[in-house]
Every structure is written in structure tokens, then in C-alpha cells.
A and B are shown apart, each in its own frame.
Chain A
Amino acid sequence: MSLKIDQDHSRFRAIVRGKIRQNLRRYISQGELIGRKGKDLVSIPIPQIDIPRFVYGDKQRGGVGQGKGDVGDPVGGQEQEGDDGQGHAGQDAGEHNLEVDVTLDELADILGEELELPAIENKGKNRIVSAKDRYTGIRRVGPDSLKHFKRTYKEALRRSVASGVYNPKDPIIVPQHDDRRFRSWKEDVEPVANAVIIYMMDVSGSMGDEQKEIVRIESFWIDTWLRRQYQGLESRYIIHDAVAREVDRDTFFRTRESGGTMISSAYKLCGQLIDQHYPSSEWNIYPFHFSDGDNWSMDDTLSCIELLKTDILTRVNMFAYGQVESPYGSGQFVKDLREHFSEDERVVTSEIRDRDAIVGSIKDFLGKGK
């Protein structure tokens, strides 16, 4: 059944994607793609367009809350109405981002669903199999270590209310044998597949902080998605200007050099890494390279292409190149790649204009299910 709302919804999507009503795009609250990471709390962006009105400025405003805490203690987030889903359909202006507890696995699923990403075809190296227990059900017998406290309590409470023993003034609940509930599990057999992502980034002078932030956000999502697809995913990081070296994750996003750019240096190092650590018969390999598209010379670009053809492409699942737009870069490199590899499905290129383009670019990279 098609819903009446569909038309309104598709117009809203069109506004969000910038197809119509460009003037409204200004008010889209930029769902920061990664809210707070750590403790598995991730914010999911649901774009909201706020129609401007005469309203009070936020900061002088404050509000009233309820709960413990001393003067000077922080309050969790801004004042908001408890949006517990019950009650009237609100006429209140919408809250902006929803910030939600989801595990990274769920997040990856959501991402996959949102972008309609296909599950990745494994390269057929599933000789190794591992069994994993998943706790999904409840049963009435089991070891104490698996006792489900909340369910047991609920059963006990139910029994004591029903049998008239429950005393609201002294609400002590003593679970009996029949009240006990236990978690139960089933065994999932999963093939183990090894995968490695090799991130390469141009850190020459022309890559600014904003460009790096884009790479950081994008690589977070790529990580999340691939981790969902492969247990035991490894990541390696290579930075380069005129020379390349391997670094840890933190350095990868912080380093800024001022030198020139020779992309081939990174590709060489990438090839060596694969040689030494990741035999292609056992590993799914994903090199991702980000730069602003400036290379030192045409010669170097040609040697990059040569390296890709002979050394890298034969051994990897796909090779991804993301070009972040910067005010300094010429943006030539992506054109060269496209010229030479337009027929080759293993090379995926994507241009990332700004933060808004990240989502589209993730789809470019991961949309093929390689």
C-alpha cells in the first residue's frame, strides 16, 4: 500500500540531497557522523530541517530538570522533553540529532541498510570455521551463572502479587525455584575470513585539517562496515608526502608535512606490506588511498599506474581511491586513474567535495560488494 506521506517524504529527501530548494539546506542540522565514540555510543544522524522563527537564543536560556547533582554539575544535554514515544503527536519543533546507544555492529547494519550496501562476497577462503555462542533465549533451567536476574525478579514479583504475599510497604521479593529464569544460547558456526585495510593518506602541505577530518570520518565508517563483514579485521596506516612510511592510527590522522607529493612511494610500501604480511591466498585486502589529487609529476603518476597494475590489483579485493577537494590541490590524479582503469571494476574512485559528500562516497566504495 502506498502511503500518502510518501510524496511529502520524497520531497523532504530531495531537499536533504540538495536537489530542490537549495535555500533550505542551510538549516539542515549536520548530523555529526560520529557523535561520541567510545562506550559504544554512536549518534545516528537523522537530518532535520529547522524552519527559522523568532526564538530565544540557546545559551542564555537554561531550563529546569529533575534528579540528583550539585550546583555546578553538568546536565546531560540540552533541555528536551522526554520523548518516550507516548502521548500526542507533538506539535513541538523537532529535536535535532537523535543520539542513541547502538553497538558498532548494529551501526554497521544500519549503515548497510541506509546505503543499500551489499554484503561482501568472501574471496572463498573459508577453510577455517569457528563456533560462537549467542545468547538469545530464555529457559527455566540452567546454571546459576546464566541466571537472568531481571526476568527472575519479574516472575517472582508476578507470583507474589498473584498469591497476595506482596506487601507494598515492605516490598521484599524472594524468588522461589520456579521463578528462576536463565539465559539460553545457540551455537552459530561462522567461517573465519581474514581481512586487512591498508589506509594511505597524502599528508603533504595541501591537505588541511578539514580534509583530514573528512578522511577520519570516512575511514571510521569504512572500518565499521568491514568489521561487520569480517571478524578480526586488521588496519594498517601509511602516510606519504614525497616518501612513505607506516604509522599508527593516531599519527595517521595528526601528521602534517610540508613536502611535495609522490604517490608512488605509498603504493610501493603498500605492495611491500602485502608481500611481507598478507599473502593474498589467505587475506581479503582493501587498500584505501586518500589525497587531494596533486601528484609531483606525470612520470610519478605513470609509475603509480604501473604499480597498481602489476603489483597491487592482482592481489586485492578492490582498490579504493578517495579524492578530497582542497583549495590547493589540482585534483588531477583521479582523472588519470579513471583514464587508465575505467574498464577495471577493481578500482573504485570517488570525489569527496565536503562533509556532506561522505555518505555518497562510502556508497561508491562499498556499494559493489567486493
Chain B
Amino acid sequence: MPISPNQADLPRYLLVEQEKIEAIGRRYGLDFFPVVFQMLSYDQMNEIAAYGGFPNRYPHWRFGMEYERLSKSYEYGLSKIYEMVINNNPSYAYLLEGNSLTDQKLVMCHVLGHVDFFKNNFSFRSTDLDAGEPITDPVRKRGGEYDPNRRWIDKMANHGAAVRRIVDRYGIARVEQFVDTCLSLENLVDPWSRFVRRRRDEVVEEEPTAVEVPRLRSKDYMEEFINPEEYIEEQKKKIEEAREKKKGRHPASREQDVLLFLIENAPLERWERALLSIVRDEAYYFAPQMETKIMNEGWASYWHSKMMTSDVCDWSEIVDYAENNAGVMVTSGGRLNPYKLGVELYRSVEDRWNRGQFGPEWEDCNDLDQKRHWDLRLGLGQQKIFEVRALYNDVTFIDEFLTEDFALEHQLFSFGWSNRNERFEIDSREFKNVKERLLSQLTNFGNPFIYVEDANFENRGELLLVHDHRGVDLRGDYANETLAALVRIWRRPVNLATLSDGKKTLLRFDGKEHSSRADAP
């Protein structure tokens, strides 16, 4: 289904609605890319949704799997996709044929919220195709109208064409198998790499400079007590040893972008390298969306609810709207709903900044009654939430604005696996635990931290990865399979240093056998 840039296939009455809604959005200060709405039948919707929103992707069975899941859920009446919008400039959004007009309006309002978010939230700057690397100041507005190149629809289609060419040459079975291997490693990326200069230009040290041990400041007569000579010597030795160890080490320091490291260093054929690069590019495209799921959905929900209830709906629609909205916001079965959590957090921020409930005076106030009636009538709420939508991602958003009162009001709890009862149980309602759990779940998209440590492990050309263990073990069988995928790419044995049940463990796969030993480096 070709996407046409004109909006001819959108019925006129919807175009009129779109214009109205966009005018309302602008009045509220929303700042969005142009939006192209397309009307789709449900099987087209399922197809495009299966392809992650893009009408053209490379061929792969997992899209077929997603399609089956979506179309079955639809046929059995479990769920249907109301809307979909892709981060592209202009942004494309899809409406489902046969929805009521109220629903379509709701979707349009919701989409505007998303597109405003795509354009203004800093993390999406990493999807600007015309940005030079790295983007060290993602907040700064570039001069004039910000109109970046985000033609990802084209880029994805180009990926599709490239993969199809490779398929013609090497056959679908071989290509798909390699793509599976790449997908096994898809989450081994460095979400911040677009914003930080990770690799310093290597300063080639001809003569190693003398080792200088930093000293604590002291008065002359205290010097030998504060910086005792033996200690300084000891430190000097340590630094020299570390330097010696690092000599000729590759990579110079551990790297989180395992995919990039493999693209640059693994002995791949040209077509394999091309596929791996495509998988990596697309992983980075989707990263900001995963990083801001709660914020993004919350923002879109905030705006659809504001615009629908104050401007768009007339009385005959409001009840239908409310019923539908309730369906989106529902939190049943104890599950956290990102739409609900997000929108409530924005509302709480807005309310607090309207009433001046922030800053040291507020924090220091211990009088509950005074706090309850605290209202400085600052009216900063709107300004604040626009600022928040630009400068935060889910982790910082939750960290800064999820307060104890909020957790209490919304009955948040943390849960864990109970070995005794063999089920998931609520384990705490303590604010500290809940927040920590939520944050750790969002950190690094809930993926473990894995780094490339050494490309010449034990001087045998083996790859050594290190898992930065933060309290949770890796899933063993999956770790072994992933090591196998790495071996297919690295073509030498691959090792992973991790902790298992609190003990250091080195997992190894040599192409034939999996082994694990205790003396992890």
C-alpha cells in the first residue's frame, strides 16, 4: 500500500475536523510537525502495525508473527488498534475505517499530542537524520523553524530494498537466519551514544608521561601524615600496572554499543555487515519511543482529554468519549497502565506548579495541614509541563515527579516472585521500594548492562563481554543462545563475565559447547 503524500484518501469531513483540531492545538501552544492522516481498513492497519508503523520494511517472519497476533486479537474481539502514529517529518498517522466520528476526533487529538512530543522531546533529536554527530545539546533550538530531516519512512523503505537485494543474491533462508542472529543482539546498544562523545580521539603517547599521583591538599607540616610516602608509592605502582595492562588493549575502554563494535571489528562479509547496520539503525530509531513510553502516552492522553472535553466534543459526543477514554485509562488486574500513570503525573505536576508546591520551602514544610492548603497561585503549571515534556525521559520524569503522595493516592505497589507460593505477590507499598523498582525497571529499557571488555581475551582473539550486574541475574538459557549468536558473528569463542546466584561466573561458548567457570575476570 503506497503512502501518498497528498491527503486525497482522507474524507473531506475528517479533513475539516483535522483543521479544526490543529487550530485548537496551536492555540494551546502545541508545536507539531505537519501530520498526514490516512484511513485504513483493519487488515491494512494490522499489516502496518505489524511492520512497526511503516508501510515498507525488510522481509522477516517476525512481522508475520506480529500480524497474526494482531489480526487474531481483532477477530476474537480482544483488542483493536485505534490509532498509530510514526515519528517522521511529516508525521504519518492512521485512522481505522469504520470508527465513529467521536473516536476519530479522539485519535486526532491524541496524535497531535504525540507529534508535538516527537518534535520537542530531547530524546527524539537522536532520530534527526541531518544532525551531525554527536548531538551534544539536544535542547537548543536551531535558528528559525526547527524542521529536521526525519524521513524515516524512506529510510526504512530503503532498508527494505537493500535487504531484498541481498535476499535475491543469497536466498531468504540464509538472510533471515542472519537477521535472527542480529536481532538476538538488538538490545546491546548504548542509548546515550548519540548525545555523548564516547570515544576520545586517541592521543598517541610516544613517551609515557611520568605517573603523577594526585595528592590531598595539606599544610607543609602535615604533608607526611596526609600523603604518606609509602601510600603514594603504592598508588604509583597501581597506576603503572593499570597502564601496562591497558597497553594494546582493544577496545581502549569498555563499550556499551556492542553492535557498533561488532560492525567495526567482526570478520563479517559485506552483506552481513549491511544487515547488522540496518538492525542497529532501526534499534536506535525505536529507542526514544521506548525511553519515553510513559511520558509520550501521558502527554498525548493529557491533550486528547483536554481538547476533547473543552473544545472538540459537543454534548452528544461527550458520553461516548468518556466511555472510550475510560477504556484507555483503565488499570485492572493490578497492572500499571503507562497512559494512566503518565497523564496523572502531568496533572500532578501542573497542579503543583500552579499552586507553588515546589522548591525548598515546600520540601521543608512538615505541617501536613499547611501543605494541604498550600496555594501560592503562581499559575506556572502549563509552562512547567511544556518544559517537562521537552527535557525529561521516563526515568528522570519518574525520579523527579513521582512523589510519595502520588504513589499513595494511586495505590502503587511493588511485587516480586514468591518462591514459597510460586506466584507473583505484592511485596511492598513503601514509597522507596516502589520507586526504586519502577526506576530500575525503566533504566536502560529494562535491559541488562552488557559491555565489550576485550576483543583479544586471554590473547586468543576471543571476545569478552562483561555484564554489569545490578542485582538481577541473566536468564541462563537465553544468555547461552545469545552467546551462540555472538559466536556466529565473531567467529571465535565468546565469553561473558556475569554473576550467578552471587558468584562470579564466566559463560563461554566456543561454537560447539557451552561451558561456565567460576574464575571470571
Q: Which residues of A contact B (CB under 8 A)?
A: 3-5, 7-13, 15, 20-21, 24, 44, 46-49, 51-89, 91-92, 94, 98, 100, 102, 106, 110, 154, 157-158, 161-162
Within the complex, the shortest CB–CB distance from B413 to chain A, in Å, comes to: 6
The reply to whether A46 and B68 form a contact with Cβ atoms under 8 Å apart is yes
Q: Which residues of B contact A65 (CB under 8 A)?
A: 334-336, 412-415, 426
The reply to whether A66 and B335 form a contact with Cβ atoms under 8 Å apart is yes
* Contact of A8 with B415 at beta-carbon distance under 8 Å, contacts A55-B448, A89-B52, A89-B53 already known: no
Q: Which residues of A contact B319 (CB under 8 A)?
A: 154, 157-158, 161
Within the complex, the shortest CB–CB distance from B377 to chain A, in Å, comes to: 22
Within 8 A of A (CB), among B462-479: 467, 471-479
**0/1 interface trace, chain B 33-55, chain A, CB 8 Å (1 if under):** 00000000001101111111100
Can you give 8 contacting A-B residue pairs, CB < 8 Å?
A55-B478, A56-B473, A57-B475, A62-B416, A62-B427, A65-B414, A88-B53, A94-B69
Query: Bound complex: CA of A55 vs CA of B476, how far in Å?
Result: 9
The reply to whether B426 and A98 form a contact with Cβ atoms under 8 Å apart is no
The reply to whether A54 and B335 form a contact with Cβ atoms under 8 Å apart is no
**0/1 interface trace, chain B 321-352, chain A, CB 8 Å (1 if under):** 00100011011111111111100000000000
Within the complex, the shortest CB–CB distance from B65 to chain A, in Å, comes to: 5
The reply to whether A66 and B339 form a contact with Cβ atoms under 8 Å apart is no
The reply to whether A63 and B82 form a contact with Cβ atoms under 8 Å apart is no
The reply to whether A73 and B425 form a contact with Cβ atoms under 8 Å apart is yes
- Does B432 sit within 8 A of A, measured CB to CB? no
The reply to whether A51 and B474 form a contact with Cβ atoms under 8 Å apart is no
Q: Which residues of B contact A68 (CB under 8 A)?
A: 411
Of chain B, the residue at the smallest CB distance from A14 is B61
Q: Which residues of B contact A52 (CB under 8 A)?
A: 184, 477-478, 481-482, 485
* Contact of A62 with B81 at beta-carbon distance under 8 Å, contacts A88-B53, A98-B73 already known: no
- Does B173 sit within 8 A of A, measured CB to CB? yes
Within 8 A of A (CB), among B293-320: 293, 296-297, 315-316, 318-319
Of chain A, the residue at the smallest CB distance from B429 is A71
* Contact of A85 with B82 at beta-carbon distance under 8 Å, contacts A5-B67, A56-B446, A79-B335 already known: yes
Partner of B76, one of A63, A72, A102: A102
- Does B290 sit within 8 A of A, measured CB to CB? yes
The reply to whether A5 and B448 form a contact with Cβ atoms under 8 Å apart is no
Q: At the interface with chain A, which of B144-152, B213-221, B244-252, B434-442? A: B434-442
* Contact of A55 with B447 at beta-carbon distance under 8 Å, contacts A46-B68, A60-B472, A91-B290 already known: yes
Known: A62-B415, A65-B336. 20 other contacts (CB 8 A): A4-B56, A5-B64, A11-B64, A12-B62, A44-B76, A49-B62, A52-B478, A54-B474, A54-B478, A56-B472, A60-B417, A64-B414, A64-B415, A65-B414, A66-B412, A71-B428, A74-B424, A83-B79, A86-B328, A87-B83
8 A-B pairs with the lowest CB-CB distances in the bound complex, closest first: A62-B416, A85-B79, A8-B64, A9-B64, A12-B64, A52-B481, A76-B333, A82-B337
Which of B50, B80, B475 is the most central at the interface, judged by chain A CB atoms within 10 Å of its CB?
Answer: B475
The reply to whether A154 and B328 form a contact with Cβ atoms under 8 Å apart is no
Query: Bound complex: CA of A331 vs CA of B328, how far in Å?
Result: 54
Q: Which residues of B contact A5 (CB under 8 A)?
A: 46-47, 50-51, 63-64, 67
Query: Bound complex: CA of A86 vs CA of B339, how far in Å?
Result: 10
Query: Contact size class for B?
Result: 35 or more
Query: Bound complex: CA of A73 vs CA of B421, how far in Å?
Result: 10
Query: Bound complex: CA of A9 vs CA of B59, how far in Å?
Result: 10
The reply to whether A74 and B315 form a contact with Cβ atoms under 8 Å apart is no
The reply to whether A100 and B473 form a contact with Cβ atoms under 8 Å apart is no
Q: Which residues of B contact A64 (CB under 8 A)?
A: 336, 412-415, 434, 437-438, 441
* Contact of A91 with B424 at beta-carbon distance under 8 Å, contacts A76-B333, A85-B82 already known: no
Q: Which residues of B contact A98 (CB under 8 A)?
A: 69, 72-73, 78
Query: Bound complex: CA of A91 vs CA of B176, how far in Å?
Result: 19
Q: Which residues of B contact A157 (CB under 8 A)?
A: 319
Q: Which residues of B contact A63 (CB under 8 A)?
A: 336, 414-415, 437, 441
Query: Bound complex: CA of A154 vs CA of B474, how far in Å?
Result: 50
Q: Which residues of A contact B339 (CB under 8 A)?
A: 82, 84, 86-87
- Does B362 sit within 8 A of A, measured CB to CB? no
Query: Bound complex: CA of A59 vs CA of B421, how far in Å?
Result: 12
The reply to whether B76 and A110 form a contact with Cβ atoms under 8 Å apart is yes
The reply to whether A53 and B67 form a contact with Cβ atoms under 8 Å apart is no
* Contact of A66 with B426 at beta-carbon distance under 8 Å, contacts A59-B417, A94-B65 already known: no
* Contact of A87 with B69 at beta-carbon distance under 8 Å, contacts A64-B413, A66-B413 already known: no
Of chain A, the residue at the smallest CB distance from B287 is A91
Partner of A54, one of B44, B64, B447: B447
The reply to whether A84 and B334 form a contact with Cβ atoms under 8 Å apart is no
Within the complex, the shortest CB–CB distance from A138 to chain B, in Å, comes to: 16
Query: Bound complex: CA of A58 vs CA of B417, how far in Å?
Result: 8
Which of A24, A66, A70, A71 is the most central at the interface, judged by chain B CB atoms within 10 Å of its CB?
Answer: A66
Q: Which residues of B contact A94 (CB under 8 A)?
A: 65-66, 69
Query: Bound complex: CA of A370 vs CA of B85, how far in Å?
Result: 49
Q: Which residues of B contact A60 (CB under 8 A)?
A: 416-417, 471-473
Partner of A62, one of B63, B187, B424: B424
